[in-house]
């Protein structure tokens, strides 16, 4: 799938999950925690495609996410692509084809999603607010790039960077540490996982079984058959899937905001004789 669809699917998954937790497990989150979670999950859902490098020197090519912070992120994408190719080459078995590009390899595996989740939580737990600022800054930048693709393109990377900085500062100042920090890591990991699911429905597939070898192959690309696969950037993805993700997100938000707003703005219905 393309960047904006990945970002939307991440936000939708987080909002739907938060709604379900709220509804069935009595796990309530503040509106800030929900928004930050959805944003980090949307950003995390773009992270695996940082392995799609472009041309740093001419600021061209690469995935949506690689342009988040201008040439700098394009350079990071280059490094991640080469690193992924290194992991591929080092672990490939006799039936895995030779490759000269690392796209859809290491960053498209379950261990990578787990690593992102665990790493983010560990960073935040260890370095506290400064790590939170850094994580939210990066994730906000990617989420803005993905969710508001047209705006981000027009605004350019300087505005996107400034906006991300503002969001990061506001979050670090207001998000409580105890629940908030593990939540950031979880949201980033879930985002990566949602990305893998988004790529699995396309015909190219992802090496979801890695590092479990099957038939002398470590990097078997697993996707759904061509006939029913979603065409990358096609009508089904852009019209059907994006609309579905948007509707899911809006329904989940409505489902969570309604009881909260009733409680906040019409407390008498709950508190009885207070007023």
Minimum gap (Å) between residue 115 Cβ and Zn ion: 16
Minimum gap (Å) between residue 273 Cβ and Zn ion: 57
| Of 65 and 252, CB closest to Zn ion | 65
Minimum gap (Å) between residue 114 Cβ and Zn ion: 17
One residue of 3, 14, 49, 202 binding Zn ion per CB under 5 A: 49
The residue whose two tokens read 């100042």 is 173
Piece in contact with Zn ion (CB under 5 A), picked from 145-153, 166-174, 193-201, 238-246: 193-201
| Of 199 and 237, CB closest to Zn ion | 199
Piece in contact with Zn ion (CB under 5 A), picked from 16-24, 26-34, 49-57, 86-94: 49-57
Q: Is 168 exposed, middle or buried (0-12, 13-18, 19+ CB in 10 A)?
A: buried
81 binds Zn ion (CB under 5 A): no
Piece in contact with Zn ion (CB under 5 A), picked from 83-91, 137-145, 192-200, 225-233: 192-200
Distance CA 90, CA 77 (A): 20
Distance CA 189, CA 119 (A): 9
Minimum gap (Å) between residue 142 Cβ and Zn ion: 13
Piece in contact with Zn ion (CB under 5 A), picked from 88-96, 191-199, 225-233, 238-246: 191-199
Q: Where are the alpha helices (DSSP H) in 69-128?
A: 71-91, 110-127
**What SS3 state is found at 46?**
coil
233: left (phi over 0), alpha (psi -120 to 50) or beta: left
CA angle 240, 244, 246 (to 5 degrees): 120
Number of residues that bind Zn ion (CB under 5 A): 3
One residue of 22, 78, 199, 237 binding Zn ion per CB under 5 A: 199
| Of 18 and 68, CB closest to Zn ion | 68
Instruction: Please list the residues that pair with 206 across neighbouring strands.
Output: 222
Minimum gap (Å) between residue 212 Cβ and Zn ion: 20
Minimum gap (Å) between residue 213 Cβ and Zn ion: 22
User: CA quadruple 51, 196, 112, 249: dihedral positive or negative?
Assistant: positive
Instruction: Please list the residues that pair with 55 across neighbouring strands.
Output: 60
User: Any residues with CB less than 8 A from the CB of 237 and at least 6 apart, and which?
Assistant: 1, 2, 5, 230, 231
Angle, helix 129-147 to helix 31-44, in steps of 10 degrees = 70
Check whether the bond before 211 is cis (ω within 30° of 0): yes
Minimum gap (Å) between residue 156 Cβ and Zn ion: 25
| Of 49 and 237, CB closest to Zn ion | 49
| Of 38 and 195, CB closest to Zn ion | 195
Piece in contact with Zn ion (CB under 5 A), picked from 91-99, 197-205, 224-232, 251-259: 197-205
**Which residues contact Zn ion by CB under 5 A?**
48-49, 199
């Amino acid at each position: 799938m393309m960047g904006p669809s990945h970002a939307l699917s991440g936000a939708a998954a987080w909002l739907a999950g938060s709604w379900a937790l709220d509804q069935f497990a009595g796990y309530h989150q503040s509106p800030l925690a929900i928004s930050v979670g959805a944003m980090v999950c949307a950003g995390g859902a773009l992270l695996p495609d940082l392995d799609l490098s472009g041309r740093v020197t001419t600021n061209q090519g690469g995935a949506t996410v690689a342009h988040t912070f201008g040439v700098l992120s394009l350079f990071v994408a280059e490094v991640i692509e080469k690193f992924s190719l290194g992991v591929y080459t080092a672990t490939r078995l006799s039936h895995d084809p030779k490759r000269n590009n690392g796209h859809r390899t290491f960053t498209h595996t379950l261990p990578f999603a787990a690593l992102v989740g665990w790493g983010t939580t560990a960073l935040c737990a260890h370095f506290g607010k400064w790590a939170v600022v850094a994580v939210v800054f990066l994730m906000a930048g990617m989420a803005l790039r993905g969710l508001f693709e047209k705006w981000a393109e027009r605004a350019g990377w300087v505005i996107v960077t400034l906006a991300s900085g503002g969001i990061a500062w506001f979050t670090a100042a207001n998000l409580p540490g105890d629940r908030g920090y593990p939540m950031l890591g979880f949201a980033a990991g879930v985002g990566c996982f949602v990305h893998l699911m988004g790529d699995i429905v396309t015909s190219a597939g992802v090496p979801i079984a890695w590092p479990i070898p099957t038939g002398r192959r470590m990097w078997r690309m697993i996707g759904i058959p061509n006939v029913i696969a979603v065409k990358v950037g096609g009508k089904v993805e852009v019209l059907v899937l994006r609309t579905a993700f948007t509707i899911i997100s809006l329904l989940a938000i409505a489902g969570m905001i309604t009881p909260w707003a009733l409680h906040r703005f019409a407390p008498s219905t709950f508190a009885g004789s207070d007023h």
